[in-house]
Amino acid sequence: MPAPLNKRSRFAFPGLWKGMWFTLKYLFTPVPTVMYPQEQEIPVPRARGVIALDPEACTVCMLCARECPDWCIYIEGHKEPKAPSKPGGRARTQNELDRFEIDYSLCMYCGICVEVCPFDALYWSPEYEYSTYEVADLIHGKTRLKDWLETVPEPPALEPQGESS
């Protein structure tokens, strides 16, 4: 059984007036709402917004594609002969990246690919404005992923005490 309201509170409703006073007080405080298209929030440097690719650093080792929990990275590459480093040396081959695509409609932004990359080819960028009208446009190719590279921020400074000390 619900608690019966006593006679005084049934008509006076002190809670109602308390709430109204509270609302009135907040009528005159600044609004925390960010009016999004006009003004934008600046994300923290560590924010996981979009993954940037440095195609020159990529060696088509496929580690990121293999470690991705939902397999949203598509990589294709081929071997290309490379001139020997010293004259008279042995001709070598180098892996060339043909296709590197991240399907952002599948990506769950866990960051495992960035973490496992042994050649510093993948970075996190806090950019977030890349929504599209078509699902297919969410597949970002090599050139698009390279464009994100210039938005990658410097890592934030750390507290003086910590791992390094």
Partner 1 sequence: MSDEYRAMMHRSEVAVSVELQTQDMTLNIGPQHPSTHGVLRLVAQVDGERITSVEPVIGYMHRGYEKLAEVRSYAQMTALVNRIDWVSGFASEVPFIVAVEKLMGIEAPERAQWIRLILTELFRISSHMVFTSSYPLELGATTPLFHVLRERERVLELIEGMTGGRFHPNFNRVGGIKPAAGGGKTQKKVSMDIPEGWLDATRATMERVMLSTHQSDTLVTGNELFKARTVGVGVIPGDKAVEYGLSGPNLRASGVAYDLRKHEYHLPYDQVDFDVISAPGGDCYDRYWVRLQEIRESVKIVLQAIDKIPDGPLRAKAPRVLKVPKGQIYVRGENPKGEFGYYLISEGGQKPYRLKIRSTSFSNLSILPWVLKGALVPDLVAVMGSLDFVLGDVDR
Measured from the CB of residue 78, what is the shortest distance to partner 1 in angstroms? 23
Measured from the CB of residue 131, what is the shortest distance to partner 1 in angstroms? 17
Are 102 and 145 in contact by the 8 Å Cβ rule? The answer is yes
- For residues 163 and 29, give the distance between their C-alpha atoms in angstroms, rounded to a whole number: 41
Tokens of 82: 């490379």
- For residues 67 and 73, give the distance between their C-alpha atoms in angstroms, rounded to a whole number: 10
Closest C-alpha to 47, from 148, 152, 132, 160 = 152
Nearer Cβ to partner 1, position 23 or 90? 23
Nearer Cβ to partner 1, position 20 or 137? 20
Nearer Cβ to partner 1, position 25 or 90? 25
| Contacting positions for partner 1 (CB under 8 A) | 1-3, 5, 9, 13-16, 18-19, 22-23, 26, 32, 43-48, 57, 67, 69, 108-112, 114-124, 155-159, 161-165
Are 77 and 118 in contact by the 8 Å Cβ rule? The answer is no
Measured from the CB of residue 63, what is the shortest distance to partner 1 in angstroms? 9
- For residues 151 and 127, give the distance between their C-alpha atoms in angstroms, rounded to a whole number: 7
Nearer Cβ to partner 1, position 111 or 141? 111
Give the distance, in angstroms, between the CA of residue 121 and the centroid of all CA atoms in the same chain. Answer: 15
Measured from the CB of residue 128, what is the shortest distance to partner 1 in angstroms? 11
